[in-house]
């Protein structure tokens, strides 16, 4: 098969891009490894900011799918891209049938692969009944199966708070949300460091209480005080105790999760006081998200690591093209942000590709509009995964410009060095 564009990933970014390309007459195939397109939208359910409107991701996913089909986009579900050769030749395997797979040739490839959860080893985490927080989200909000009767969550962040609420809403007894262990895997998480992040995010915090304490958190002394005098029983949010001063030492059980051993910690994250065993049948671990970039690495992209983007991402310009010509990126592979930003980036990447391949009658104003819509969506986002995301985006842009200068200098010096 020969098409104009292969989009890898059928989430908010991938589908939005495909709609732009398809509606301008481009031939586009979306490859997705899940049974239903929509990606992480399918499980998203939260109240937006201060408003009582529910963000129902599955409705949006359906809408995007319908629009994509109406734009003649070919969606291949339950299939996985395992390799790419420049030019492009995209190798695809079928997840369900044991066939020989297929190849699709395309002028451009868009990687909208999303993110994965960072592994967060805790003794006993291999026991059945321990889930990554995202798995609990899919189980509860996509399949309507309760992850457990009594659930304990490890990791206090915007995602774990939202999913803990989802589980409670669905009928689970969420016993509490605890700090991640103080280890290299959590970047030595501690109450003091955590309050710093919380401070930066208070404008986005889904609770009035946390926004109020935000003032206290502005100063270092305030943060130390807050960490020291944090209520020993935790602060409740939607009736779920959040334990900033307690962590999980181990998950226990013979065949499945039976209990969890917790301990108090000091402001620096060191265990203090007695250990306590709490009965539970399910433990959800939230170690944060990280961009899923293997295919970009395989294609030979240059990479950068920026804290504000929550990890390592393929270096790309504002139009979302990577250092490898005709290879674009959109969504969480460019840095961890919410679905609104992912959709705006998808639309931008779609237009950039149309521009490059001369699909449709794209005007300069269309590109400018798409570029500013990404910025706009970022500002309006009610879920921010990292307080320094806008700074990191600017930094990324500087790095791109430096790279371009270096390349043109090399060219003047007669160097044949290519970008990839």
Partner 1 sequence: MRIQHPILPSRSTKTISFSFNHKMYQAREGETIAIALWANGVKTLRNSEKNHEPRGMYCGIGQCYECRIYHPKIGLLKACTTRVTDGDHYFSKESFNEMDLARKGGGNEG
C-alpha of 100 from chain center: 32
Query: From the CB of 280, what's the least distance to partner 1, in Å?
Result: 13
Whichever of 44 and 334 has its CB closer to partner 1, that residue is 44
Give yes or no for residue 98 binding partner 1 (CB under 8 A).
Answer: yes
CB 191 within 8 A of CB 267: yes
Q: Of 191, 177, 172, 401, nearest to 285 (Cα)?
A: 177
Interface with partner 1, residue 54, by CB under 8 A: yes
141 near partner 1 (CB under 8 A): yes
By the rule CB under 8 A, 91 interacts with partner 1: no
For 407, counting Cβ atoms within 10 Å of its Cβ (0-12 exposed, 13-18 middle, 19+ buried), the class is: middle
* Residue from 175, 137, 92, 133 nearest 289 by CA: 133
48 binds partner 1 (CB under 8 A): no
β-bridge pairing 89-94 and 102-111? antiparallel
In 59-143, which ranges are E strands? 74-76, 79-85, 89-94, 102-111, 115-117, 130-132
Nearer to partner 1 by Cβ, of 117 and 375: the residue is 117
- C-beta of 332: minimal distance to partner 1 in Å? 12
Q: How far is the CB of 308 from partner 1 (least distance, A)?
A: 24
Of 143 and 188, which CB lies nearer to partner 1 in the complex structure? Answer: 143
Token code pair at residue 416: 């044949």
Find the binding residues for partner 1 in span 300-339 (CB under 8 A).
none
Q: Is 256 in the site for partner 1 (CB under 8 A)?
A: yes
The answer to whether 71 contacts partner 1 (rule: CB under 8 A) is: no
Site string for partner 1, 260-299 (x = CB under 8 A): --------------------------------x-------
* Residue range at the interface with partner 1 (CB under 8 A); choices 146-154, 333-341, 363-371, 379-387: 146-154
User: Are 328 and 352 in contact, with CB atoms under 8 Å apart?
Assistant: yes
What phi and psi, each to the nearest 5 degrees, are found at residue 313?
A: -135, 155
Based on the shown chain and the rule CB under 8 A, indicate whether residue 129 belongs to the binding site for partner 1. Answer: yes
> Of residues 146, 235, 278, 403, which one binds partner 1 by CB under 8 A?
146
Q: At what angle do helices 339-357 and 57-70 cross, to 10 degrees?
A: 20
Smallest distance from the beta carbon of 412 to partner 1, in angstroms? Answer: 44
For tokens 């208070």, what's the residue? Answer: 202
Q: Does 235 bind partner 1 (CB under 8 A)?
A: no
- Rounded distance between C-alpha atoms, residue 107 and residue 353, angstroms: 10
Interaction between residue 255 and partner 1 (CB under 8 A): yes
Selected binder of partner 1 within 48, 49, 58, 69 (CB under 8 A): 58
Which candidate, 132, 140, 142, 143, places its Cα nearest to that of 168? 140
| Complex with partner 1: residue 27 or 34, whichever CB lies closer | 34
Q: Is 406 helix (H, G, I), strand (E, B) or coil?
A: helix
Pairwise CA distance, residues 67 & 51, whole Å: 27
Instruction: Establish if 93 lies at the interface with partner 1 (CB under 8 A).
Output: no
Binding region for partner 1 (CB under 8 A) out of 1-9, 123-131, 220-228, 331-339 = 123-131
Strands 28-31 and 74-76: parallel
> Given the rule CB under 8 A, which residues bind partner 1?
33-35, 45, 54, 56, 58, 78, 95-98, 116-117, 119, 126-132, 134-136, 138-141, 143-147, 149, 169-171, 255-256, 292
């Amino acid at each position: 098969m020969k098409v104009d564009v292969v989009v890898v990933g059928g989430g908010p970014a991938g589908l939005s891009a495909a709609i732009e390309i398809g509606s301008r007459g481009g031939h586009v195939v979306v490859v997705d490894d899940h049974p239903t397109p929509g990606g992480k939208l399918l499980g998203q359910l939260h109240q937006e900011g201060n408003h009582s409107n529910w963000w129902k991701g599955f409705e949006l996913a359906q809408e995007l799918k319908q629009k994509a089909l109406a734009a003649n986009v070919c969606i291949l579900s339950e299939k996985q891209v395992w390799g790419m050769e420049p030019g492009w030749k995209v190798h695809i395997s079928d997840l369900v049938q044991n066939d020989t797979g297929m190849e699709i040739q395309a002028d451009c490839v868009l990687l909208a692969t999303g993110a994965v959860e960072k592994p967060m080893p805790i003794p006993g985490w291999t026991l059945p009944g321990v889930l990554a927080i995202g798995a609990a989200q899919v189980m509860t909000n996509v399949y309507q199966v309760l992850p457990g009767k009594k659930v304990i969550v490890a990791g206090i962040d915007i995602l774990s708070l939202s999913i803990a609420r989802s589980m409670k809403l669905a009928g689970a007894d969420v016993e509490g949300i605890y700090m991640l262990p103080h280890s290299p895997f959590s970047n030595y998480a501690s109450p003091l460091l955590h309050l710093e992040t919380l401070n930066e995010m208070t404008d986005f915090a889904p609770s009035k209480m946390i926004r109020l304490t935000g003032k206290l958190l502005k100063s270092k002394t305030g943060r130390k005080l807050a960490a020291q005098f944090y209520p020993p029983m935790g602060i409740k949010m939607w009736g779920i105790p959040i334990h900033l001063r307690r962590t999980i030492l181990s998950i226990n059980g013979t065949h499945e999760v039976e209990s969890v051993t917790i301990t108090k910690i000091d402001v620096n994250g060191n265990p203090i006081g007695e250990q306590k065993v709490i009965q539970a049948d399910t433990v959800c671990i939230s170690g944060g998200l990280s961009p899923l970039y293997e295919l970009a690495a395989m294609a030979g992209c240059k990479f950068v690591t920026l804290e504000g983007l929550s990890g390592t991402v393929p270096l790309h310009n504002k139009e979302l093209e990577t250092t490898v010509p005709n290879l674009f990126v959109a969504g969480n592979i460019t840095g961890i942000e919410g679905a609104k930003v992912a959709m705006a980036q998808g639309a931008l990447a779609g237009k950039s590709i149309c521009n490059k391949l001369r699909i449709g009658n794209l005007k300069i104003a269309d590109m400018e509009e798409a570029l500013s819509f990404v910025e706009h969506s970022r500002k309006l986002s009610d879920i921010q995964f990292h307080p320094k995301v806008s700074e990191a985006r600017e930094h990324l842009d500087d790095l791109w410009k430096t790279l371009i200068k270096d390349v043109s200098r090399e060219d003047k010096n007669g160097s044949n060095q290519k970008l990839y």
